[in-house]
Structure 1
Amino acid sequence: MSVEIWPHVAPDQLKAAIETAEKRELDWLIDELRETLTNLKHGLEDCYALLAPIDPGSTLVLSTPRNEVVKGHVTRVGTRIVKGTIHLRLRTLPQQTLTINPDHPIHLTSLTTLHSLLTHSIDLLALTLSYSYPSATPTAPLPTDLPPPHFLSAQLRLLAQSLAEASTHLKGTPQTAPDPSWTTLSASPSHFTPPLPQPHTNSSHPSLSFHLSIQDSSLVLWLRALEPADAPLNFGTKLALAIGTTRRLEHDESEKVFGYCCNGNVNDAEHTHSTPPAALPQEHTTTATSHTPPGNQPVPLSGTRKPNNSHSNNSSSTTKHPAVDVFVREKVRVESADPSLLSLSAKLTALGHTLALARRNLAAVMGEEVGGEGGED
């Protein structure tokens, strides 16, 4: 079965008609993309608001189920843990209470990077809209000079990569996978009142590692009781360990030596938040029209904060602590679901699906292929 066009059209006329129809379809899709990009920008601003440092913040309970090994709460404001009180009854350490020093809040690495990614994404959308539709409004007709489709495709690819990375930071490291970041990104002693003791070479004094991370949009606290690997043992303890009357607590990190230090400290200035999204369109309107980017290249963002993965949990001091080889005598994990982060994750997932559909539609009209939602072509 074949399709015939009647009356017959000359090949040259048919080719011109096909090109005209494809151009009309592409123009229509670019017109539709204006509304899609605007909705994406509004959605990302909602995500930004969920991570904004607004008092009183979110109070999260940190307690172990069915026992009172760990019992307490912390308060998250934006990307920082600003206060909290946690009571500990670990088997290998004396009973104690940890109080977070309000003057030295704990910065969460994943949320700090997520904040930068959201800022970068909103900035990218504002610049794309100001360049592609400089004089258009959602209800006004498109200007006669339409943006190059390859430019829009490149900008959408960058945005997809940014959203995929943001979702990855919210998802965090799987619980079944080892996460060695605690050896360098544990909270430094100055974040607590009184300061936490730290392990020292040739000392038998036990210490504690306090490490906060994000997993599946929940706040996860890892507590590790540490013992220097070269700590002297008395004869009675050695004999008890040898004959089995005394055993170390079994966990996945037992009998392993780790190089532990608190060298992840950076200055508070590095954690200051970026310009709020509301100021982005005015900031970049002139930048977008001051030059014409290549048709298949994304517009570089001038004067904006790029995503940075170098932030650490600690921000109060730049003091370097030498690494000490330690054993993990006891390990406790406490998880607390964060409603704001759960909502943020759901919104990012929905925005990712919307962006993926827009990219597939544009690629189909342009006769190109598009990769997955993560932006890999």
Structure 2
Amino acid sequence: MAAWAYPPLQAADLEREADKALANELEWLLRSLQDSLASLKEGLQECAALLAPRDPGSTLVLSSLRSESVKGFVTRVGTKIVKGDIHLRLSSLPPPRGASSTHLSLSSSPETPELVLDQLVSVRNLVHQSLDVVDVSTWTGDPLNASFISGQLRLLYETITEARQTLKGDEGDARGNWWESSASQNIFNPQLPPYLSFHLSIFDSALVLQLRTLEPNTPTHTPTAFTADISLTGFSLRDKLFGPRHRPHDEAGDVFTWNGEEVRVKEKIRVESQDPSLMAVMAKLTALQHEVSKWISALNVLMGRDDTD
């Protein structure tokens, strides 16, 4: 079948008809995006509901694998940990006299400070910001203005991406530095033992507990002339005889400022518990991020923009 038109169009007419067809496609896309934004808003509202405080909350087991080092649970309601009961058996933390383990329990007193998960607060705020962007795109401005909608979609994509990355917890800044954001001793009843850091964070939609026993960073002895001489090459006599020691954990030998004091980490243990609600939020945010990315690409094509990014 012939693929040409008769009578043939002039070049100027052909270009004008092509521009007209492109404009019609762009208008159709902008109108259809309003329905798509309504569906996206429903997904964001589902994420907000999963992050909202709702009794009885999520009870998560926090226990070490193949050992009795950590055994217990915590209960998360919204962005807060409202209940917790954990038993520790650490070689560097002797239990109280007459007990077989060190017991950590969140205080139920009304005066007790709240144990808030800052990452979840950030994720919740970003989800609400995304909902605001959708409302502005729907009810404010011209929904058929391609430049306006394009800018709103990019802002929406960036906000959803930030929420997803915060929930994933890839970056250390998102999870917080343990020496700056360890739980307060006053949260527990009885209070935490001295030089014990209790740090909760979110990593890949799981609740992660990191416990560290600490010691003051004070010199224990002054090296003699002999020990100074044999360490000039960077190896001690023991290292020459038996080889270098293996670090018991990745922070061994490092110095941190914790509660205004320089400390070293004696023992470190990490346990995690997958949170089904947070996994659902992650799945929804990933799907929404992908959808907005497709809308941006389609809009760029019809607007004649470079979509290489």
TM-score range normalised by the length of the shorter chain: 0.7 to 0.9
Contact 1:174-1:215 at 8 Å conserved across structures: no
The corresponding residue for 2:37 is: 37
Q: State the partner residue of 1:119.
A: 128
Q: CA deviation at 1:173?
A: 3.0
**Does structure 2 conserve the Cα–Cα contact (< 8 Å) formed by 1:82 and 1:104?**
no
Deviations 1:246-278 (A, max 9, x none): x997111111111113xxxxxxxxxxxxxxxxx
Counterpart pick for 2:107 among 87, 92, 101: 101
Supply the distance in 2 between the matched residues of 1:146 and 1:106 (Cα, whole angstroms): 43
Helix, strand or coil at the partner of 2:200: strand
Residues 169 and 333 of structure 1: is their aligned pair in 2 closer, same or farther, counting only changes over 3 Å? same
CA distance 1:127–1:180, change in 2 (3 Å): closer
Is there any run of 5+ residues in structure 1 with no aligned partner, and where?
Answer: 133-144, 199-206, 234-241, 262-322, 372-376
Question: CA separation in 2, counterparts of 1:38 and 1:225?
Answer: 50
Question: Residues 224 and 39 of structure 1: is their aligned pair in 2 closer, same or farther, counting only changes over 3 Å?
Answer: same
- Corresponding residue SS for 2:62: strand
Specify the alignment match of 1:356 in structure 2: 293
The 1:31/1:352 distance shift into structure 2, 3 A limit, reads: same
2:164 aligned with 1:155, yes or no? no
Aligned to 2:178: 182
Is the contact made by 1:74 and 1:81 (CA closer than 8 Å) also made in structure 2?
yes
Task: Please list, as runs of the form range in 1=range in 2, the aligned pairs for 1:162-241 lying within 5 A after superposition.
Answer: 162-173=159-170, 181-198=177-194, 207-230=195-218
Instruction: Give the conservation status (yes or no) of the 8 Å contact 2:137–2:143.
Output: no
Paired residues of 1:220 and 1:334 also in contact (CA < 8 A): yes
More helix by share: 2
Q: Aligned letter for 2:103?
A: T
1:41 is aligned with what amino acid?
K
Q: Please report how far the alpha carbon of residue 180 of structure 1 lies from its aligned counterpart in structure 2 after TM superposition.
A: 7.2
- Compare CA radii of gyration and give the structure with the larger one: 2
1:231–1:59 Cα change, 3 Å: farther
Give the equivalent residue in structure 1 for 2:98. none
- Residue in structure 2 matched with residue 260 of structure 1 by the alignment: 258
1:337 aligns with 2:269: no
Amino acid at match of 2:210: W
* CA spacing shift, 1:249–1:197, aligned 2, 3 Å: farther
SS of equivalent residue, structure 1 residue 328: strand
Distance 1:196 1:369 in 2: 57
Q: Which amino acid aligns with 1:97?
A: H
Q: Counterpart amino acid of 1:99?
A: S
The reply on whether 1:83 has 2:99 as its aligned counterpart is: no
Deviations 1:125-144 (A, max 9, x none): 11211125xxxxxxxxxxxx
Q: Report the residue type matching 2:187 in the other structure.
A: H
Secondary structure of residue in 2 paired with 1:68: coil
Q: CA deviation at 1:11?
A: 2.9
Note the residue ranges of structure 2 that are not aligned, 5 or more in a row: 96-101, 222-236, 240-244
User: Offset of 1:243 from its aligned partner?
Assistant: 7.4
Between the aligned partners of 1:214 and 1:51, the Cα distance in structure 2 is 13
Q: Distance in 1 between matches of 2:48 and 2:303?
A: 32
User: Quick one: which amino acid aligns to residue 230 of structure 1?
Assistant: T
1:4 deviation in Å?
4.7
SS in 2 for 1:187: coil
State yes or no: 1:12 paired with 2:9: no
C-alpha RMSD of matched pairs (Å): 2.5
Distance change in 2, residues 1:223/1:212 (3 Å)? same
Match of 2:230 in 1: none
Tell me which of the two structures has the higher relative contact order, counting C-alpha pairs closer than 8 angstroms and 6 or more residues apart: 1
In the TM superposition, 1:221-370 aligns within 5 A as 221-230=209-218, 250-261=248-259, 323-370=260-307
CA distance in 2, matches of 1:47, 1:180: 23
- AA paired with 1:122? L
TM-score of the aligned structures, taking structure 2 as reference length: 0.83
Shift of 1:147: 2.8
- Give the Cα separation in 2 of the matches to 1:128 and 1:210: 43
Query: What is the identity, as a one-letter code, of the residue corresponding to 1:214?
Result: I
Amino acid at match of 2:157: A
Normalising by the residue count of structure 1, what TM-score does the alignment of the two structures yield?
0.69
Match for 1:260: what amino acid?
A: W
Structure 1 residues 146 and 84, CA gap change in structure 2 (3 angstroms)? closer
**1:61-90 superposed Cα distances (whole Å, 9 cap, x missing partner):** 000011111000000011111111111111
- Tell me how far 1:166 sits from its aligned partner: 0.8
Q: SS state of the match for residue 63, structure 1?
A: coil
Distance 1:118 1:353 in 2: 16
Aligned length: 278
SS of aligned partner of 2:159: helix
Secondary structure of the 1:9 match is coil
